[in-house]
């Protein structure tokens, strides 16, 4: 996982090493099970401007982070950066996400994906060293607090590499081919860098398993999906909810819970036929229910009641037996799983996780992810480190930053007259994105005013760009002053420059 790549394949595939825009964010919800972020907003204390303005648009499991923030429970945030160039204004957004979570109480991690840059992009170690230093400076200038955070380079983190080796035992080449499209010609070090990324994602949990949020662009989702799988494969046990002998996915569990809530006051005990009848009557043509109906049909007269199920994945029978005796609630123990009644998922999950840690297991939580929109390039299309005019580096001369904004494409109409009549297309305008993502900072009313003035035709592109260009020049001056101020902190860091420096 890193925050340097883009994707523009219109067909629904996501390539973490691609280099283009996501055309339709809605496809990500439909095809990859990424959830919409907006529903969580009311429960988040002090959401930042990226959250409030819909720039952060999707997540996997962010509810756990909201709960951790609100109840002050431990959690972590981690993101990585591939040092293929200096950080630009698109990366500043990710710096801000990390720092925001750190301020909400997270232990923060930011890593330099130097092994990936070397393996997947072929960068020399000398180039990597220079860019890595600038990423670190950018993070520090954005407020990353070294007291409650950790910065590291992949190449110097032995624990990450050891974990990557363990993860390699849990996967194989054909899985890598199907996820990443690797071919017979893919270098093994590229493959190894994927395992290193997965290890990075799980690294915050090595000492203390806890919910960990990974802010990334949606092109990095394959890494998250793989790592979530690997995290569960390394568990000794899994804990799920169930209502009868069969297993159900998340959507099916929602249907089953609704059915139980409706029927349980009318009949005791319920059986699976009762539930099947209700679901078929209420949802006669719901395709989501086809598989579930088959399961209910097979279970037939089995008692239908809520339970928490522990499944033994990797523990010996003896250890599984010891876990069973640790649980005092009403239960039925089978050879490879046990069902616990009249208890909560959280309570049982805590017991199992604690037991697993006691017995040398990782007890990882599946990593959670937070997805932001990509910033458009100033020349149209993607913002890319390899297209100088498309981006503005955080280390760029402020005058050059000013000029790039002035030269930017816009969402303006063919003429001022038409723009006054029809309004501009702020939603397609890279300059508006500069205002929304960066230049108006936390001032929502300013961003809103730009949007309204643009779309109602009272704002024209020439003046709008001049205003944004001036703000950009000031932003770069201020930011580079902060970079100067944090430079002495670099000396406190013991990041090795590259692998040959290790002893």
Positions that interact with ligand SF4 (CB under 6 A): 410-412, 424-426, 429, 431-432, 450, 454, 459-461, 464-465
DSSP string, 397-425: -HHHHHHHHHT---S--SSHHHHHHH---
Q: Dihedrals φ, ψ of 307, to 5°?
A: -155, 160
Q: Which residue has the tokens 């199907």?
A: 178
Residue 459 phi/psi, 5-degree rounding, is -115, 130
Residues 296, 298: Cα–Cα separation, whole Å: 5
Which residues make beta-bridge pairs with 111?
80, 152
Shortest separation between residue 435's beta carbon and ligand SF4, angstroms: 7
Q: Give me the least distance between CB of 457 and ligand SF4, in Å please.
A: 9
Handedness of CA 362, 363, 364, 366 (dihedral sign): positive
CB-CB contact of 422 with 413 (8 Å): yes
How many C-beta atoms surround the C-beta of residue 490 within 10 A?
13
- Alpha-carbon distance of 139 to 10, in angstroms, equals 33
The CB density around residue 281, as the number of other CB atoms within 10 Å, is: 8
Tell me the two tokens of residue 65.
């982070």
Place of tokens 């770069």: 476
Q: Decide whether 204 or 411 has the Cβ nearer to ligand SF4.
A: 411
**Least separation, in Å, of the C-beta of 97 and ligand SF4?**
24
Shortest Å distance, C-beta 423 to ligand SF4: 8
Supply the minimum distance, in Å, between the C-beta of residue 428 and ligand SF4.
Answer: 8
* Element of type H or E holding 445: helix 444-455
Task: Using the minimum distance from each CB to ligand SF4, give the nearer residue, 404 or 465.
Answer: 465
Alpha carbons within 13 A on the beta-carbon side of 68: 22
Tokens of 159: 């624990």
Residue 269, classified by CB atoms within 10 Å of its CB into exposed (0-12), middle (13-18) or buried (19+), is exposed
Taking the complex as a whole, the smallest distance from the CB of residue 7 to ligand SF4 amounts, in Å, to 24
Q: How far is the CB of 355 from ligand SF4 (least distance, A)?
A: 57
CA atoms of 181 and 15, how far apart (whole Å): 9
Taking the complex as a whole, the smallest distance from the CB of residue 452 to ligand SF4 amounts, in Å, to 10
> 137 or 461, CB closer to ligand SF4?
461
The minimum distance between CB 415 and ligand SF4, in angstroms, equals 12
CB 454 to ligand SF4: min, Å: 3
Q: How many CB atoms lie within 10 A of CB 425?
A: 15
CA-CA-CA-CA dihedral for 24, 27, 32, 34, to nearest 10: 70
Of 439, 441, 345, 370, the C-alpha closest to 41 is 370
């Amino acid at each position: 996982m890193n925050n340097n790549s883009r994707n523009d394949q219109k067909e629904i595939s996501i390539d973490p090493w691609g280099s283009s825009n996501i055309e339709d964010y809605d496809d990500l919800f439909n095809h990859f099970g990424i959830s919409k972020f907006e529903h969580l907003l009311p429960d988040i204390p002090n959401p930042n401007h990226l959250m409030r303005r819909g720039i952060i648009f999707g997540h996997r499991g962010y509810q756990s982070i909201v709960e951790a923030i609100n109840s002050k429970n431990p959690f972590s945030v981690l993101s990585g950066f591939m040092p293929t160039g200096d950080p630009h204004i698109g990366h500043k957004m990710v710096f801000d996400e990390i720092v925001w979570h750190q301020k909400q109480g997270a232990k923060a991690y930011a890593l330099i994906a130097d092994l990936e840059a070397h393996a997947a992009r072929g960068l020399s170690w000398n180039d990597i060293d220079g860019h890595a230093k600038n990423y670190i400076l950018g993070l520090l200038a954005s407020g990353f607090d070294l007291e409650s955070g950790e910065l590291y380079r992949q190449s110097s983190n032995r624990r990450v590499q050891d974990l990557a080796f363990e993860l390699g035992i849990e996967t194989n080449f054909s899985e890598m081919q199907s996820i990443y499209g690797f071919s017979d010609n893919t270098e093994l070090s590229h493959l190894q860098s994927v395992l290193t990324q997965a290890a990075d994602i799980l690294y915050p949990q090595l000492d203390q398993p806890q919910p960990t949020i990974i802010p990334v662009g949606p092109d990095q989702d394959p890494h998250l999906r793989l790592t979530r799988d690997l995290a569960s494969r390394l568990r000794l046990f899994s804990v799920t909810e169930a209502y009868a002998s069969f297993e159900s996915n998340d959507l099916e569990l929602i249907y089953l819970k609704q059915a139980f809530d409706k029927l349980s006051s009318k009949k005791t005990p319920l059986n699976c036929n009762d539930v099947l009848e209700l679901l078929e009557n209420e949802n006669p043509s719901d395709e989501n229910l086809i598989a579930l109906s088959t399961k209910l049909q097979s279970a037939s007269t089995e008692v239908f009641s809520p339970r928490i199920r522990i499944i033994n994945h990797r523990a010996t029978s003896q250890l599984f037996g010891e876990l069973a005796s640790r649980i005092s609630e009403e239960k039925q123990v089978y050879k490879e799983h046990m069902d616990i009644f009249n208890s909560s998922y959280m309570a049982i999950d805590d017991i199992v996780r604690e037991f697993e840690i006691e017995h040398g297991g990782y007890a990882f939580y599946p990593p959670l992810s937070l997805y932001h929109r990509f910033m458009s390039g100033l020349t149209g299309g993607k913002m890319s480190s390899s297209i100088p005019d498309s981006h503005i580096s955080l280390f760029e001369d402020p005058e050059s930053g000013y000029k790039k904004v002035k030269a930017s494409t816009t969402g303006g109409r063919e003429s001022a007259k038409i723009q006054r009549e029809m309004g501009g297309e702020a939603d397609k305008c890279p300059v508006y994105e500069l205002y929304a993502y960066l230049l108006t900072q936390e001032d929502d009313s300013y961003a809103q005013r730009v949007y309204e003035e643009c779309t109602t035709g009272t704002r024209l592109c020439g003046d709008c760009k001049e205003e944004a260009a001036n703000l950009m020049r000031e932003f770069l001056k201020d930011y580079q002053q902060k970079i100067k101020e944090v430079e002495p902190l670099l000396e406190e860091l013991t990041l090795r420059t590259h692998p040959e420096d290790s002893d």
